[in-house]
Structure 1
Amino acid sequence: MRARRLEELLGIEHPIILGPFGGGLSTVSLVSTVSESGGLGSYGANNLGPEQITGVVGELRAATARPFAVNLWVPQPGERDRPDDLARHVERLRPYYEELGVDPPDLDGPFGQDFDAQIEALLAAEPPVISFIMGVPPERVIAEARRRGIVTIGTAATVDEAVAIEEAGLDAVIASGNDAGGHRGSFLRPAEESFVGTFSLVPQVADAVSVPVIAAGGIADGRGVAAALTLGADGVQIGTGFLVTAESSASPVHRAVLNSPEARITVLTRLFSGRHLRVIPNRFVREMAAFEAEVPRYPFHNALMQPIRRAGTADHSSLLAGQAAALARPRPAKDYFDELVSDTERILRDRF
């Protein structure tokens, strides 16, 4: 599979990276399975406190001797400035709290995790790889990771963001197209001006930077992997395809929707967290569509929505999915990974 500079950088056999699931969807079992299969397992730690991060890295080390990554969100300017009208937003959501029999969150907070405390704990734990989304980490973080021998990966939604990531000194960049499920990571321009499809983004990023490029978004089988590599990517990151595997912690409700015709349709919405998120639309998304632009920013709206999401119903859950979700099939993660490798190698051999 192409020149092996990504594999050499990460110490892996195959240039396939597990997308880091946030919101409690990551599992040590899934991460270690991907790593043991020769890829790079990734764990989404954005919702974890410092002690939990230390514990997760310890569990991952116990589960696999192979490289793995832990992912954090970089804070965006102003996101910790508390809105003055949170009580008004609670009242808008009150019918859903009452329908589900849950209490609204405490408006005194806390709201989200402290990034500085998270990254200090993560650096001290020294995972083989740290990946970031939503921005470029502080210079001191990049320098300390380098001093400790930790590989760093940034996530770009546009070419300009990829250039900024390389200039900051990170070791690789994920070119994350608009096709991807989960949260959008744009940080230089508004999200609405940063929606670029994966197969438009990848070749432009490959031309613009010299570090390894990892394609993400809308890739769920060997055809997608082969296409990404042909367009100039050094590897791929796959999320939704692994979300339906036996080792993920996706709920039965989430799995059922992913494995239904409903998965053919996804939308971008701020309604679940205050940041753009690609999901399969449900009743909550359709009923609240008129308030899309009014919900407060992350992490405040994320906290308001947490009791509703945790109720776990198909009508109210954030059903994360990329635009290739209909290609995903339930199976053990090892079987899926091996199929990705064999199909990609066959396609590249037969066609080129």
Structure 2
Amino acid sequence: MWNNNEVTRRLNIKYPIIQAGMAGGPTTPELVAAVSNAGGLGTLGAGYMTADQMKKSIKKIKRLTEKPFGVNLFVPQHADRDTEKVEASNRLLWPIRQTLHLMTPSVEIKSENEQFEQQIQVIIDEKITACTFTFGVPERKMLHQLKHQHIITIGTATTVREAEICENLGFDMVVVQGSEAGGHRGSFAVPYEQAMIGTISLVPQTVDHVSIPVIAAGGIMDGRGVLAALVLGAEAVQMGTAFVTCDECGAQKLHKESILNSSEDETTVTSAFSGKPARGIRNQFIDSLKPYEKSLPDYPVQNALTKDIRSEAAKNHRPEWMSMWSGQSTRLSKKGSASQLIHSIVAEIEDFYLHI
């Protein structure tokens, strides 16, 4: 059977479909539980959460499902607060702030290491099935700590070399993120420009060079995409944009509508919102800051500088200033519940096998 492999067996899920851990609100407990209840692996995007916020969300997910689910964490980034870059960014953002009646924020970036350690402890305490990582790799001792508690560890890679690093560190599985994928790029070993490799090229090359299961991500929206990934050697897929337009997703209504009404040529990779490259739907904010991207602060400083703008823009129905992360397969997006999406994918795959 197409859905019986190492990934489904180890994660104890029915279908090799993983919902991406999209941080910042999209992965509500309702979405995570709905995906898991439908036979996939729901994933809480906990990158921006404190340990207490994580625990609260995990408790709610457990009330909504008895099935396995995962949690995605951001590997801590070095926060270099360049005063000149902060001032330059604030000058560029000031016209938008004036329109939205916002003051210039005072940005205090705290070390992410302590929060990361607390998040890891919550995952251990709550006996989470799988912990996925992006923005790099954690220390080997942390991976061993999780594995000792029988928690499946899943890394993110955008090149074969990054996947090999994940395997050598001891990850159980690796998500390979093609250039089509929406949201932040997971590159950590090379500049992101060198890691913009399409899914159909990246997956088979990675499969040939690592022995751990490969999970394909980037542009996969339906049964055809899942089948293609499996044929290329992946043992599962991770889907993000496909779930953003689902009923249970916590993304803003304007964000969902923009995806549903966009075409494949309307996304771009930008670091204007967060200081880290991410794929989203092009808008005025991205276009106006594009000439200055190299002079903007790095993540997470730029992310902190634009946080109130993104929030207030959503409240005021100003999509031109919102970060609307999306992959390139926007024309394949659909409205409906998460369970409907998974069931339609499964039906497409099983119909294919029925007719060969």
* TM-score between both structures, scaled by the size of structure 2: 0.94
**Is the 1:279–1:318 contact (alpha carbons within 8 Å) kept by the matching residues of 2?**
yes
Provide Cα deviations, 1:23-45, integer angstroms capped at 9, x if missing partner. 12110111101101111001100
1:89 shift after superposition: 1.9
Q: How does 1:100-139 map to 2 (within 5 A)?
A: 100-110=100-110, 114-139=115-140
Matches within 5 A, 1:78-117: 79-85=78-84, 86-110=86-110, 114-117=115-118
Query: 1:104–1:307: 8 Å Cα contact kept in structure 2?
Result: no
Deviation at 1:252, TM superposition (A): 1.4
> CA-to-partner distance for each residue in 1:182-206, whole Å, 9 max, x for gaps?
0000001111111110010000111
Q: RMSD of aligned C-alpha atoms?
A: 1.5
Partner of 1:183: 184
Per the alignment, residue 30 of structure 1 pairs with 31
Could you say which residue in structure 1 is the equivalent of 2:336?
Answer: 331
Higher alpha-carbon deviation: 189-198 or 56-65:
56-65
Match status 1:344 vs 2:349: yes
Q: How many residues align?
A: 349
Which is further off, 83-92 or 65-74? 83-92
- For residues 1-352 of structure 1, the aligned pairs below 5 Å read 1=2, 3-76=4-77, 79-85=78-84, 86-110=86-110, 114-262=115-263, 264-311=265-312, 312=314, 313-351=318-356
SS in 1 for 2:43: strand
> Aligned equivalents of 1:112 and 1:297: distance in 2?
15
Moved more, 251-260 or 28-37: 251-260
> 1:301-335: CA deviations, max 9, x gaps?
00001011112121100011001121011111111
What SS class does the counterpart of residue 296 from structure 1 fall into? Answer: coil
Consecutive unaligned residues of structure 1, counting only runs of 5 or more, are: none
Task: Describe the shift of the 1:64–1:293 C-alpha distance in structure 2 as closer, same or farther (beyond 3 A).
Answer: same
Mapped partners of 1:72, 1:123: distance in 2: 13
Amino acid at match of 2:327: G
Q: TM-score, normalised by structure 1?
A: 0.95
Structure 1 distance, partners of 2:155, 2:176, is: 9
Aligned with 2:279: secondary structure? strand
Tell whether the 8 Å contact from 1:264 to 1:325 is kept in structure 2 after alignment: no
| CA distance in structure 1 between the aligned counterparts of 2:353 and 2:297, rounded to whole angstroms | 46
Measured in 1, the distance between the counterparts of 2:219 and 2:108 equals 39
- Are the aligned partners of 1:218 and 1:324 in contact in 2 as well (CA < 8 Å)? yes
> What is the rounded CA distance, in whole Å, between the counterparts of 1:263 and 1:318 in structure 2?
17
Equivalent residues of 1:50, 1:122 under 8 A apart: no
After TM superposition, what 4+ stretches of structure 1 lie above 4 angstroms from structure 2?
109-113
Is this contact kept in 2: 1:266–1:278, CA < 8 A?
yes
